[in-house]
Amino acid sequence: MARRRIKRLEKLKLSALLTFFRCHRGPSDDHSRIGTVGFSRVVYVNEPERLKEEGFSYPLNEVSTTKYNLGTFLPKSLFEQFRRVANFYFLVSGILALTPLAPYTAVSALAPLCVVIVATMAKEGVEDWRRKQQDHELNNRIVKVHRGNGNFEETKWKNIKVGDVIKVEKDNFFPADMILLSSNYPDGICYVETMNLDGETNLKIKQALEVTLDLKEDIKFREVRQTIKCEDPNANLYSFVGSMEWKGQQYPLSPHQLLLRDSKLRNTDYIYGAVIFTGHDTKVMQNATDPPSKRSTIEKKMDKIIYILMSSLLMIALLGSVFFGIWTKEDIRDGKLKRWYLRPDASTIFYDPKRAALASFFHLLTALMLYSYFIPISLYISIEMVKLLQALFINQDIEMYHEESDKPTHARTSNLNEELGMVDTILSDETGTLTCNMMEFIKCSIAGTAYGQGVTEVERAMAVRKGFRLDDDIENGGHKDNKIDDSPHVNGFNFKDPRIMDGNWIHEPNRDMIRDFFRLLAICHTCIAEKDENGKISYEAESPDEAAFVIAARELGFEFYKRSLTTIIIREWDPSQNVVEKRKYELLNILEFSSSRKRMSVIVKEPEGRILLLSKGADSVMFKRLARNGRKFEEDTRRHINEYSDSGLRTLVLAYRVLDDKEYKEFNEKLNAAKTSVSADRDEKIEQAADSIETDLILLGATAVEDKLQKGVPECIDKLAQAGIKIWVLTGDKMETAINIGFACSLLRQGMTQIIITLEQPDIIALEKNGDKLTIAKVNI
């Protein structure tokens, strides 16, 4: 034992020393250490054959999601069949039927079992064959791959190798995990839909490294040679660490450059990418699990019933065998034959009065076989046939056809059909499920004044809840004289207020703040402006919120016109002179939105020379960052935000700050140092740099956008409730907002008892600020 401990300690010391030297070798400069610390995967871009020459072995890009293959189908499928109690029982009975104990022939025992097993295995085989066909279709999709001299040839997905350069066009899926090299946009961004990975419908922005942005033509890849070093394959969708060697320099890679397999390119004409993970090394396949052995509730209940029947059968057979043994033992007594017609004097081992106990045991086995029809073997095959027919009916159900996507319903497996009728609880989120996730700008608060006279679905539900209906006068803001503009509806814009519309904002007492408010909406975003053949501007946005803000600014005279890597151009309509003026802002920095920051900011230089920080974010973080002299309208804005939240609207607070040259220069140096860092806390350093500048803000106001309910949601929820199904909805809205949305979608109805559990009590809030988790837990208990 002592020797083992010593050897274990020696191994630990050696491992620690190797780790120390691996992490500290080479110069101390960050760029020289990239690729040596923790990066074990090497990718030679445009040279996939070189990997093999240097001994690197990576899997092919062909994937399989089937449960069986030719070698494993028979053993795996047989195991699945004999997990069922009845099948195992009939197998044992069939084996015993081959012995002289059987009261019938072996064929009559094994034939029904074989029919049941073969039929069920055939069904499993057909369903797995369909999975294989889907894999075959996926593996044989076509994508353009660079094959030398600037030629991109159409290649099947399964033939893609690590190191290949691929061109993916709009609305196509990425065939492997890739590093984004460039796109058709000048700043190298692209929009990605990851719905197949995480269920999110919002588009995500990816951006190439600045050094590869000029790779926009096929011919330019003729001489491209790069080395990428990165982490090993893992299942984490939201993290990536690596580096790219380009012309002798090292550049850090992050998740902003990573394009994942099965995500789709949206709102971007094309991108070029270098493959780093293929096949089962991709993150989506790392997250995939083997097809499970699914057993429905009915099958489990059937097994329990079979156990009861088997117990009854065993008791009957055991009782008969005990009496048989007693009577057999008494067949020859005092030299006389008691049951002479059975000829006990000429009996075999199965009926020998001298060995009555053994004869009784053999009689037990015979009785178990004889009474085996007590257990219905046809029950399983009947259930399988019913499930198969149900799946066919589901596939042909015209009522479940989705016209917009041109997709019928498809039952991938028939094993769980019967579970559909056993659903008793539905767990749902709000955004994208109950609501359309299509935002419309409907109200706003600027300089403490509320604008917008539209009525939301939640407000209508609140009115019905209070016993009255909103008429046209109420919808017009409560004034009969107010005439709502009946101009054609614009997607993303449902704002109606004569005080703001048609340039009337110039007559408002707070017109300067109104102008700054809509300028901020036109500048603080990551949208891309696209011009069609008719010269009309449309926007490609990461989220529907941003699209609604930019559209609202355009409709009110502040049109976001064009952007580049370094500039943003907006066209402002001056109502006083009835002219459109182009204003060109120098884009200095973008501080991106994240779930932890809950805000987004841009830093721009005005044509007049001022440096502005423009910020928008959640009220919970923005109000804390206001300057003392920037809180003039805070109380009114808070009140309006609460009113908007009660109406089911999503709110954001808008604020700005003027920066001097020295302050901005110090911040920019700090931010660049954080971005070029390759340490594990790189993101934290970037966030700290952003936090240092996003302070002392001046409040402009707040926006309110509406996410309308999906068509038919109230009716659907009402029918589910009538069917006795319990429904739970998760939402991040405020409590009163959640209650009102519940009434709007018929989740809550009049007469229901409301039980509200909240931790928003003054004493608990004080404890949370102090960070005393133990005391908070005791108070909650």
> How many structural domains is the chain composed of?
4
Q: What's residue 462's pLDDT?
A: 74
Check whether residue 150 and residue 248 sit in a common domain. Answer: yes
Is 22 annotated to bind a ligand? Reply is no
Q: Is 295 annotated as a binding-site member?
A: no
User: Facing residues of 272 across strands?
Assistant: 167, 182
Q: What is the rounded distance in angstroms from the CA atom of residue 318 to the CA atom of residue 324?
A: 10
Q: What pLDDT score was predicted for residue 158?
A: 93
The Cα 777–Cα 766 span in angstroms is: 13
In whole angstroms, what is the distance from residue 369 CA to residue 97 CA? 8
Q: Please return the burial class of 348, using the count of CB atoms within 10 Å of its CB with bins 0-12, 13-18 and 19+.
A: exposed
Exposure letters 100-135 (e unless 16+ CB within 10 A, then b): ebbeeeeeebbebbeebbeebbebbeebbeebeeeb
Residue 731 lies in a domain: no
The DSSP 8-state label assigned to residue 467 in this structure reads T
Minimum mean pLDDT among 96-110, 405-419, 592-606: which range?
Answer: 405-419
Residues 518 and 667 reside in one and the same domain? yes
In a domain, 569, yes or no: yes
Query: pLDDT tens across 165-184, in order?
Result: 999 999 999 999 999 999 98
- Please indicate, yes or no, if residue 292 is contained in any of the structural domains: no
Classify residue 455: in a domain, yes or no.
yes
Same domain, residue pair 626 and 520: yes
**Do residue 487 and residue 576 come from a single domain?**
yes
Asked if 533 and 589 sit in the same domain, the reply is yes
Say whether 703 counts as a known binding-site residue.
no
Note whether 411 and 552 are same-domain residues: no
175 vs 731, higher pLDDT: 175
361 is in an annotated binding site: no
d(CA 185, CA 208): 10
Q: Are residues 692 and 779 in the same domain?
A: no
Would the annotation count 94 as a binding residue?
Answer: no
The CA distance from 44 to 228, in Å, is 6
- Give residue 52's identity as a one-letter amino acid code: K
Please tell me the distance from the alpha carbon of residue 707 to that of residue 544, in angstroms, as a whole number: 9
8 Å CB contact between 678 and 243: yes
Do both 540 and 512 map to the same domain?
Answer: yes
3-state secondary structure of 195: helix
Reference 591, options 464, 490, 689, 724; nearest CA is 689
Closest of 112, 90, 84 to residue 303, by C-alpha: 84
Report the C-alpha gap between 380 and 121 in whole angstroms: 12
Specify the amino acid at residue 526.
T
Residue ending a domain, choose from 422, 443, 474? 422
What CATH number does residue 267 fall under? 2.70.150.10
Instruction: Please indicate, yes or no, whether residues 621 and 685 belong to a single structural domain of this protein.
Output: yes
Average pLDDT over residues 286-298: 74
Say what the pLDDT of residue 468 is: 67
The structure's pTM equals 0.69
Question: What single string gives the DSSP state of each residue in 168-189?
Answer: EETT-B-SSEEEEEEESSTT-E
429 is in an annotated binding site: yes
> Is the separation of the CB atoms in 585 and 523 below 8 Å?
yes
pLDDT tens per residue across span 401-415 = 877 778 888 887 776
The phi and psi torsions of 193 (rounded to 5 degrees) equal -105, 120
Q: Are residues 248 and 386 in the same domain?
A: no
Interval 748-760: pLDDT, tens = 877 788 888 776 6
Domain that holds residue 408: 379-422
Phi (first) and psi of residue 626, to 5 degrees = -80, 145
For residue 119, tell me if it sits in a domain.
no
Query: What is the tens place of the pLDDT at every residue in 677-691?
Result: 766 677 788 888 889
State phi, psi for 419 to the nearest 5 degrees: -70, -20
Residues 689 and 556 reside in one and the same domain: yes
Q: Is 732 annotated as a binding residue?
A: yes
Give which of 184, 186, 415, 389 is closest to 298, Cα–Cα: 415
Task: Give the pLDDT band of residue 283 (cuts 50, 70, 90).
Answer: very high
CATH of the domain at 613: 3.40.1110.10
459 is in an annotated binding site: no
One domain, residues 444 and 592? yes
User: Which of 368, 394, 422 is a domain's end point?
Assistant: 422
| Domain's final residue, options 399, 422, 445 | 422
Question: Catalytic residue positions?
Answer: 429
What was the pLDDT predicted at 343? 60
Give tens-digit pLDDT for 484-543. Answer: 445 567 888 889 999 999 889 999 999 999 999 999 999 999 888 888 777 788 888 878
Asked if residue 431 belongs to a known ligand binding site, the reply is yes
Task: Kindly tell me if the per-residue pLDDT of 728 is higher than 60.
Answer: yes
